[in-house]
Structure 1
Amino acid sequence: MCLIKAKGIIMAFISKLDFYKSCLLRLDLNQFPSLKALKENQTDDSCLSDTDLDCYSSHLQALKEDMTIRFKDLKELKIPEWVVNPFQADATNADPNLVEELIDLQNDIEGKVLFQQIGYEAFWPKEQDKYPHLWKKIKLLLLAFPSSYLVEKGFSVVLQLLTKQRNRLQICKRGDLRLCLSNIEPDIIKLASSHQAQGSH
């Protein structure tokens, strides 16, 4: 996922937290299926007290504040209109160093067809040689958004070591924890051949 998509998804989630909080305070529980089921299955109205609602509401507020702090740099990231929609953007409002290339691009009929077929994420890398100044500005925005994938994978591996399966693990076949988190395949034969066998005394 590139930074452009990540910004849209994360900012939408942060905005939804205000909506969820207002729904909760109005007792509109459609966004909270577990709470809705709890309320429908309880005969008295005390299952959701004001204290509970205040607690849930404060959790949503804390989550919003935390997300806003964590993704402050992503929120402040400025994405020019021509990056996502170069054929509809006003070229005269672009950076003066980019105007000529942007005008060339907007009059590139083949480029327009290609853009409509594959979208901006695949379009820009294909056209980087044709429009080097535009590419220089956009390539950082198309970087993959860092994820917690390796951290989650590491927790899964450690969790597996801490379960009852631990006694049945074949450590020599499973490999080192560091190797489980890497795509590098060790060359055991080469490593073993580079060491001299212990001589007898």
Structure 2
Amino acid sequence: MKPAHMQRHLSTRHPSSVGKTADFFTRKLSEFKGAQNHMRAASQTSATSLQASYQVALLIAKAKKPYTIAEELIAPAAAILAETMVDKKAADAIRSVPLSKDTVCRRVDEMAGDIVQQVTDKLETAGSFAIQLDESTDELDWKQCSHVCTDGAAAMTGRHRGLVARIRQVNPDIQSMHCIIHREALASKRMSPELNSVLTDAVKVINFIKSRTLNARLFHKLCEETGSDHHQLLLHTDMYDKVSAFMKKTDLWLRRCDKGDVSNFPQLNSWIADMTLNKKQNILKTVKMHLAKLTAEFESHFPDIEDKSPTLDWIRRPFMHSCMDTAPEQLHESLIDLSSDSGFRLKFSETSLTQFWCCVEKEYPELAKEALYHLQPFGSTYLCEVTFSALTHIKTKQRNRLQLERSIITAVATIQPRLQKLMSGRQVQVSH
């Protein structure tokens, strides 16, 4: 006998089911549970396709490709591969992944926003930061900036109107660095003509060998006969005999084929003549002499390397007692405690220098803060140049109306977007 309230509910809410047998209700319950399982499975499938959508969008952004490539090429190609190599069900699952150009654009914007948020959070936690600049006019909180690396242009480093001078008006303690890549380029411009000629000839010979398939095969064969690695042609000086033999064989082959001699190729004939006349020692002497001059030129552009580097030995080698005196006096006690910790010694051997000092920060905050302050400056504006290169890849004639900020951030950032967090804010849509 059913309770009165259940009987009343059945008659008022489900009058068509009044008088049905128990088997009827058992079957309905089974159907309801089956529908629930189906919805749960569909929800899981949609969650997987959502994750795949983010991951593909990230790959497209990293590759600096147009957003349309997912719908036009990636998805159809992946479906064909899945159907051919697996089965039709796998191909249908791939086709369910949302990869339209608008969807990919939204994904990239969301990931760029998350990367920016992560950087902002890190800056708030760190309290100070270093920055690379190249023709920047952005407004930042310069009071938190500890180091600036620029290309040395007057607009950046001018004493009165340069950017660094203006920053010092807000933050007098800021340290400015001239990009080492630009300084190397300035020093190399004064290379002597003799040294430049020797290096140019060597490069031309190497390019001649590597740029033609037949030449590469012949040189590879010569290296195999002597047990040398032909892939290291640019890196080893012991390739003289192989290169000389190769050039002689090339000269004979060209003459035999009635194709003239190697004088058709830039300076190769004179290079062979130099080698056959045993001028190898003279060339090396020339190189050494002019390298000495070049070294002096580099020292004029890097005057403070030897003077300042010993003062930071305690950061590079914190477990060497001879380096402890280079640390600030107030940090000696903490550094002694750190150097006697076997756990940190093991961590030092397994991680990078920056990672090691980040691990030290929890137990020795003052010591780590000082070390990380000296580790955070950038040595070059390399990342700026990488961003400019990414810009030329992304903003093509066909994409000249594209809003570039989010695309560039996702393309060049080393910080990975938190996909699980982004997905949690998205409602999973179940296909009908």
Which contiguous aligned blocks of 4+ residues in structure 1 show a shift greater than 4 angstroms? 71-79
Q: CA deviation at 1:31?
A: 8.3
Question: Match of 1:129, SS?
Answer: coil
Q: CA deviation at 1:134?
A: 1.4
For 1:24-55, what per-residue CA distance to the aligned partner results, in whole angstroms no more than 9, with x for missing partners?
Answer: 43853378503776321469x9xxxxxxxxxx
Task: State the distance in 2 between where 1:114 and 1:96 align.
Answer: 25
Number of paired residues? 148
Aligned to 2:116: none
The equivalences for 1:121-200 within 5 A come to 121-143=354-376, 145=378, 146=381, 147-148=383-384, 149-158=386-395, 160-161=396-397, 166=398, 175-183=402-410
Are 2:327 and 1:94 aligned? yes
Give the structure with higher Rg (CA): 2
Are 2:317 and 1:85 aligned? yes
Amino acid at match of 1:107: S
Contact 1:29 1:35 (8 Å CA) reproduced: no
Q: TM-score scaled by structure 2?
A: 0.27
Question: Match of 2:375, SS?
Answer: coil
Q: TM-score scaled by structure 1?
A: 0.52
Aligned to 2:203: 33
Superposition RMSD in Å: 4.8
Task: State the distance in 1 between where 2:331 and 2:201 align.
Answer: 45
Amino acid at match of 1:87: F
Aligned to 1:189: none
Contact 1:23 1:29 (8 Å CA) reproduced: no
Task: State the distance in 2 between where 1:121 and 1:152 align.
Answer: 27
Contact 2:314 2:326 (8 Å CA) reproduced: no
Match of 1:109 among 342, 363, 372: 342
Contact 2:354 2:372 (8 Å CA) reproduced: no
Contact 1:115 1:123 (8 Å CA) reproduced: yes
Listed as ranges, the gaps of 5+ residues in structure 2 are 1-129, 132-148, 150-176, 209-265, 274-289, 412-416, 418-432
**Percent identity (aligned):** 19
Contact 2:334 2:367 (8 Å CA) reproduced: yes
Task: State the distance in 2 between where 1:181 and 1:119 align.
Answer: 28
Task: State the distance in 2 between where 1:31 and 1:96 align.
Answer: 54
Q: CA deviation at 1:170?
A: 11
Q: CA deviation at 1:77?
A: 6.6
Task: State the distance in 1 between where 2:394 and 2:388 align.
Answer: 10
Q: CA deviation at 1:116?
A: 1.1
Residues 82 and 23 (structure 1 numbering): CA distance in 2 closer, same or farther, change over 3 Å? farther
Residues 23 and 136 (structure 1 numbering): CA distance in 2 closer, same or farther, change over 3 Å? farther
Amino acid at match of 2:198: D
